[in-house]
Amino acid sequence: MAKESMKAREIKRKQLVEKFAKKRAKLKAEGDYQGLSRLPRNSNPNRLHNRCILTGRPKGYMRQFGLSRITFREMASEGLIPGVKKASW
């Protein structure tokens, strides 16, 4: 499980990205790079980190499911993910 502070930091970054998305797109279209540099650094979507929905684990993230590999494996073996059969793992 990820620390609560790390999860909160990611949520804060996500909110900043959403808040400045239109302004960032407008400045980028105009080519105003000085204006872009004045925006908060965490408002850049590149600063977001994918995390597992359930555990908050940042590593081994499977984008298609939004889960870490460990959580995916547990859920698949319990039959909670439709269409996934247990193979040789």
Q: What is the Cα gyration radius of the chain?
A: 18
pLDDT at 2: 65
Q: 44 burial class (0-12, 13-18, 19+ CB within 10 angstroms)?
A: middle
Q: Which helix (H) or strand (E) holds 68?
A: strand 67-68
Domains of the chain: 1-49 (no CATH), 50-83 (4.10.830.10)
Q: pLDDT of the chain along its 89 residues, tens only?
A: 568 888 888 889 999 999 999 999 999 999 999 999 999 999 999 988 888 988 888 899 999 999 999 999 999 888 898 888 777 65
Query: pTM score > 0.85 for this model?
Result: no
pLDDT at 79: 86
pLDDT at 89: 58
